[in-house]
């Protein structure tokens, strides 16, 4: 089978390299800091290019490695660039403020309390995050008053943010702005005491679901963002591209072209992928 240009280029570049595992602090691709010092060290892992290589059966290995130049050519299998997963589940070690600078591109981001204990963080800030090749998942975060990702442009899978409180409690009101976000591949789902959401650059999102206990103007919000859902197609699982509810009322919108004629097309698969992602995220918390 003919190699893609990306794989071929990686293979050629690796011909004269030596393999080495990533440093131990880098967790073999999984970054789970429990202190400010660990956070800084683990973010530094993402500043160096890591790879995953194919084994003798052309299956991708789990191991993250580095490829360093060497004088002696070494046979290296086809390798592709790999991206780290970043997870924080106990923000008490960060003085109730989780600020993660210099993290630019990762596979996925998980910020979640260790169920049934919720996060105690009031601030979550990823000031330099630009590209996520997987998903962003923030859950059990009912104390968060400020959530910032000012440079975030692309989330290739889903963006799921649950800031809701437990039954009988009330989460603090929050206004959310993602000024640079253009693409959320599988969809966007935000829950909490939301008073405003701004997505001025959004142009590509299959599904948008907002569940607010705050004063969000759902009609105005849905009208603004529905044009970004050009890939959405109605199905038995998802009838509307934008679904929003709040104390001020609810709204459901789809573009006129969002019919039922693409049940086997890419948008339908994206809808199903979003459902699968939410199920998998829930299983991580059990």
Does residue 92 or residue 25 have the better pLDDT?
A: 25
Task: Work out the burial of residue 105: count CB atoms within 10 Å of its CB; fewer than 13 is exposed, 13-18 middle, 19 or more buried.
Answer: middle
- Specify if 138 maps to a domain: yes
Count of H helices and E strands in the chain? 4, 23
- Specify if 77 maps to a domain: yes
Does residue 232 or residue 182 have the better pLDDT?
A: 182
Of 82, 101, 135, the residue at which a domain comes to its end is 82
pLDDT at 130: 99
Does residue 243 or residue 281 have the better pLDDT?
A: 243
Q: Confidence band (pLDDT; 50, 70, 90) for 70?
A: low
On whether both 62 and 161 belong to a single domain, the answer is: no
- Specify if 8 maps to a domain: no
pLDDT at 3: 47
Reported as half-sphere exposure (CB side, CA atoms, 13 A), residue 90 has a value of 8
Contacts of 243 (CB under 8 A, 6+ apart): 208, 209, 210, 250, 251, 252
On whether both 153 and 230 belong to a single domain, the answer is: yes
* Residue 233, token pair as written in the block: 């197609």
Does residue 73 or residue 124 have the better pLDDT?
A: 124
pLDDT at 269 over 50: no
Sign of CA dihedral 154, 251, 243, 227: negative
- Specify if 11 maps to a domain: no
Of 67, 82, 97, the residue at which a domain comes to its end is 82
Pairing of strands 30-31, 97-99: unpaired
Q: Per residue in 19-62, pLDDT tens? A: 788 999 998 899 999 899 999 999 999 999 999 988 888 888 88
Q: Which phi and psi (to 5°) does residue 194 adopt?
A: -95, 125
d(CA 95, CA 98): 8
**Mean pLDDT of the region 252-266:** 65
On whether both 226 and 101 belong to a single domain, the answer is: yes
Count of structural domains within the chain: 2
CA-wise closest residue to 253 among 286, 193, 210, 201: 210
On whether both 62 and 106 belong to a single domain, the answer is: no
Peptide bond into 249 cis (omega under 30): no
Q: Confidence band (pLDDT; 50, 70, 90) for 74?
A: very low
* Residue 38, token pair as written in the block: 């660990």
Of 45, 60, 82, the residue at which a domain comes to its end is 82
On whether both 115 and 179 belong to a single domain, the answer is: yes
Q: Per residue in 159-204, pLDDT tens? A: 999 999 987 789 999 999 999 999 999 899 999 999 999 999 999 9
- Specify if 5 maps to a domain: no
pLDDT at 273: 52
On whether both 121 and 33 belong to a single domain, the answer is: no
Q: Which phi and psi (to 5°) does residue 188 adopt?
A: -125, 130
d(CA 51, CA 63): 8
d(CA 134, CA 156): 6
Neighbouring CB atoms inside 10 A of 75's CB total 6
pLDDT at 259 over 80: no
- Specify if 21 maps to a domain: yes
pLDDT at 274: 52
Give me the domain span that covers residue 200.
Answer: 85-284
On whether both 77 and 89 belong to a single domain, the answer is: no
pLDDT at 1: 44
pTM, whole model, 2 decimals?
0.81
Q: Per residue in 103-157, pLDDT tens? A: 999 999 999 987 777 888 999 999 999 999 999 999 999 999 999 999 999 999 9
- Strand partners of residue 159: 136, 188
In angstroms, the Cα distances linking 149 to 17, 49, 123, 192 are 36, 23, 11, 17
* Residue 82, token pair as written in the block: 């790999």
Neighbouring CB atoms inside 10 A of 166's CB total 11
């Amino acid at each position: 089978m003919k190699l893609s240009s990306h794989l071929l280029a990686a293979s050629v570049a690796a011909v004269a390299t030596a393999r080495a595992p990533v440093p131990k602090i880098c967790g073999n691709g999984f970054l789970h800091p429990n202190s400010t010092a660990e956070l800084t060290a683990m973010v530094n892992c993402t500043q160096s290019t890591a790879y995953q290589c194919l084994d003798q059966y052309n299956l991708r290995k789990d191991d993250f490695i580095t490829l360093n130049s060497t004088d002696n050519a070494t046979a290296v299998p086809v390798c592709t660039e790999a991206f780290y997963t970043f997870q924080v589940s106990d923000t008490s070690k960060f003085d109730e403020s989780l600020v993660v600078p210099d993290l630019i591109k990762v596979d996925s981001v998980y910020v979640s309390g260790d169920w049934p204990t919720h996060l105690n963080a009031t601030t979550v800030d990823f000031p330099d995050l630009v590209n996520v090749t997987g998903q962003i998942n923030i859950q059990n975060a009912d104390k968060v008053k400020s959530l910032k990702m000012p440079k975030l442009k692309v989330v290739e899978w889903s963006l799921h943010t649950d800031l809701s409180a437990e039954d009988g409690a009330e989460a603090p009101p929050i206004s959310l702005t993602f000024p640079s976000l253009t693409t959320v591949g599988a969809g966007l789902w935000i829950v909490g005491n939301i008073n405003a959401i701004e997505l001025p650059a959004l142009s590509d999102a299959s599904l948008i679901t907002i569940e607010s206990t705050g004063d969000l103007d759902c009609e105005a919000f849905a009208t603004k963002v529905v044009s970004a859902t050009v890939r959405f197609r109605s199905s038995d699982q998802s009838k509307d591209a934008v679904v929003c509810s709040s104390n001020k009322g609810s709204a459901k919108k789809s573009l006129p072209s969002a019919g039922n004629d693409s049940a086997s097309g890419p948008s339908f698969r994206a809808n199903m992928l979003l459902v699968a992602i939410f199920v998998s995220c829930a299983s991580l918390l059990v």
